[in-house]
Structure 1
Amino acid sequence: MRVALYCPLKHPDHPVPSGDRRMARQILAALRKAGHQAEVACRFGSRDGRGDPARQVRIARTGTALGHALARRYARRPAAAAARPEAWITYHLYHKAPDHLGPVVAAALDIPYLVIEASDAPKRATGPWETGFRAARHALAAADLVMPMTRLDAVCLARLLPPERLRLLPPFLDDIGVFQAARTGRDQARARLAAMAGLDPARPWLLAVGMMRAGDKLDSYRVIGRMLADPALATAPLHLLVAGDGPARTDVMAALEPAGGGRVHFLGALAPAPLAAAMAASDILVWPAVREAYGMALLEAQAAGLPVVAGRTGGVPDVVEDGVTGLLAPPEDAAALAALTRRLIDDQGTRARLAAAAAGRASARDLAAAAAALDDALLRAACNHAARRPRSTEETR
């Protein structure tokens, strides 16, 4: 099937690293693995992060006009020439980044319309994001199938959609083999990293992975700073390795180094293979996950056989099973994170049990599983679309 993918929040080809962009690229890869011809439909972004109603109206007008223009362009292409899409998928829409194109194009071409990763926030029905909220609701109503990626979003969306138009798509990894391979070479990776960064292999190694930018990521690093200063960890002989970089690097260093006491080591931004090696070499991944959707690094760490201590926020429980593959603390609770981390530092048996379970559970979140799920979703969307299509006068006689 020929599939057009649209990402109203962040274009997948943008050079700035982002978990959102990465998931968009993984969806393209999964569609192609399933045998579909998938391409990005448009670069137009609809995000309004300031809550500016006038700007949202302008975005809506531009997006709708682009949708009509794109539909006309597609319609001029021969349907059998591998050029006209047979389905439209929009990845990640919500009130700050609604989809103005998908409903227009899908209706004009009479093709199934799918939405992957959506959320609904009724408290935004009035106020500065009212226009975006209404546009997001319109897109959800038009969709033949909506695939939230967390159970939390699924519960919210179930209030709007019937069960046959709602299906969960768990977060997945397209390069899971890189992390699995690193797990088998843990001892060598630990020795290399110890020599390179001057680390003591006998000490427990904590690892934090996250972009260094203002907002939620910086807030997570600040929670880690408070966690390190907590009595449970303040004097513990440990190493904290930090993988990530970005415009807020100075602020991140200021948040971590005072409580680090020389225990914090910055690795910079790492490509997948070095990151996988750092994960496999470490003992515990720590991440507060402040307002995190679900956290790609949490899934990667588990694929590398690394147990996780994280904040119980958003869709994190969909990725980290509390007490099975990691331990979850209340949101932004530095003391609770410190206590759970100390528990795993002191209990190697529990740490090993969580690590083994983490690797096993993550193995089911690979590209093949996602490809099968998306292939089935396209079939379901097509069936729903046919059932929802208004019948002609001849058909009703």
Structure 2
Amino acid sequence: MKIAFHAPLKSPDHPVPSGDRQMARMLIEALRLAGHDVGVVSQLRSFLRETSHSAFSAVRDESQREIDRIRRLWRSEGPPDMWFCYHPYYKAPDLIGPSLSTEFSIPYVTAESSYSYRRNIGAWKLAQDEVAAGARRAAVNVCFTQRDRHGLDEAIPGARTALLAPFIDVSPFRDLRRTKQGETRLLAVAMMRAGDKMDSFRMLARSLALVADLPWKLTVIGDGPARAEVLETFAAFPSERLEWLGEKAPQAVPALLAAGDLYIWPGCGEAYGLAYLEAQAAGLPVVAQRTAGVPEVVRDGETGCLTTPGNTEAFAAAVRQLLVDEASRKQMAERARQFVFEQRSLPAAAARLSGIFAEFVDCAK
């Protein structure tokens, strides 16, 4: 099929890296691997950090101009066979796809659509009503976690949903060689910004203080506007125990992960976290919290340890266990790599998408 791809939160061509941009790019690759012709149909970003009726109205006007542009293009060159929208939610609704899909009689599909009852107030409700309408209209709403699927099913009865587990491109990790460097190396990859990320950095610092009697070195990959606050959070640790690498190009990350022994990131409010899959693909077991979508990407007791949310002592105890038990750490490392390569790869995602389309989209044409 010829697929028009749109990501209203952040285009896959956006210059600023993030998990959303990475997932959008992975979805495009999986769709292409499944045999589809995929193109980004619009660069319009409908994201509103804060909103008002006037701000929402302005985004709607921009969206109408995009609808007019795309309509002219499709009337001249012909429409695609499907509109595929990634991650519409109350801060970034798809204000283009549902209208055009109806007008040109093509299937409308969403991935990672979400609904929050807490946002049914003020101008947020205007945006969320658009998300709900799109989910109801969709031939299928592809969910990445059972948590999100249950939430959508509960909020929008009758919406058609299917599950696609989070995945990554494993090819950069296929020929990695472990590069052990003396002391046990702990790894974390994260943007440095306020909110959930900063909460995770604080919890990480508190947890590591509880295992300061053991030999380890922490390497952090990532940067961002909260860098100074992150460094201050770890100010009590000796400098030789910390390594701040800053932002690294995606192609450099696999080798850096392969130099580690254990991936530790609390994951406060993490939707699921593709970095957990990348770490496991590099052969690192994971310590994280059993929160949000993290259990969808880490197998507790098999590929890592998931601890009670908010329990710093439990998190530190899991880190301690894998620091001192090298045999268990190596067993988990092998299972982690096998798990990602066999179940969370691009080919696995492409096959699953083909199955979803066969079940929901083909019959909707």
Same topology, TM > 0.5 = yes
Paired letter, 1:178: P
Contact 2:5 2:40 in 1 (8 A): yes
Contact 2:56 2:123 in 1 (8 A): no
Separation of aligned partners in 1, 2:297 and 2:238: 28
Tell me the residue number matched to 1:247.
225
Tell me the residue number matched to 1:323.
301
Q: Deviations over 1:15-54 (max 9, x none)?
A: 1111110111111111112221100010111111214343
Deviation at 1:99, TM superposition (A): 0.8
Change (3 A) 1:238 1:118: same
Correspondences of 1:304-323 after superposition (within 5 Å):
304-323=282-301
Tell me the residue number matched to 1:147.
142
Change (3 A) 1:181 1:372: same
Q: Deviations over 1:221-253 (max 9, x none)?
A: 1221111223xx133221111111223222221
Separation of aligned partners in 2, 1:314 and 1:61: 35
Deviation at 1:89, TM superposition (A): 0.1
Classify the secondary structure of the residue corresponding to 1:147: strand
Classify the secondary structure of the residue corresponding to 2:237: helix
Change (3 A) 1:75 1:382: farther
Change (3 A) 1:67 1:330: farther
Separation of aligned partners in 2, 1:235 and 1:128: 52
Tell me the residue number matched to 1:378.
357
Deviation at 1:263, TM superposition (A): 0.8
Separation of aligned partners in 2, 1:257 and 1:312: 28
State the superposition RMSD in angstroms.
Answer: 1.8
Q: State which of 215, 220, 237 in structure 1 corresponds to 2:200.
A: 220
Tell me the residue number matched to 2:316.
338
Question: Is it true that 1:211 corresponds to 2:191 in the alignment?
Answer: yes
Structure 1: 5+ residue stretches without partners: 195-200, 387-397
Tell me the residue number matched to 2:13.
13
Deviation at 1:380, TM superposition (A): 3.3
Question: Is it true that 1:34 corresponds to 2:34 in the alignment?
Answer: yes
User: TM-score normalized by structure 1?
Assistant: 0.86
Tell me the residue number matched to 2:267.
289
Based on CA coordinates, which of the two structures has the bigger radius of gyration? 1
Correspondences of 1:64-83 after superposition (within 5 Å):
64-77=64-77, 79=78
Tell me the residue number matched to 2:25.
25
Paired letter, 2:288: A
Paired letter, 1:136: V
Where in structure 1 do 4 or more consecutive aligned residues deviate above 6 Å? none
Separation of aligned partners in 2, 1:260 and 1:46: 44
User: TM-score normalized by structure 2?
Assistant: 0.94
Tell me the residue number matched to 1:393.
none
Deviation at 1:274, TM superposition (A): 3.2
Paired letter, 1:385: A
Question: Is it true that 1:368 corresponds to 2:347 in the alignment?
Answer: yes
Classify the secondary structure of the residue corresponding to 2:319: helix
Tell me the residue number matched to 1:351.
329
In percent, how many aligned pairs have the same letter? 39
Tell me the residue number matched to 1:91.
86
Classify the secondary structure of the residue corresponding to 2:84: strand
Contact 1:228 1:260 in 2 (8 A): no
Contact 2:110 2:141 in 1 (8 A): yes
Change (3 A) 1:384 1:57: farther
Deviation at 1:357, TM superposition (A): 1.3
User: Number of residue pairs matched?
Assistant: 363
Change (3 A) 1:168 1:161: farther
Q: State which of 108, 114, 130 in structure 2 corresponds to 1:113.
A: 108
Deviation at 1:385, TM superposition (A): 2.2
Separation of aligned partners in 2, 1:318 and 1:130: 29
Separation of aligned partners in 2, 1:295 and 1:260: 29
Tell me the residue number matched to 2:252.
274
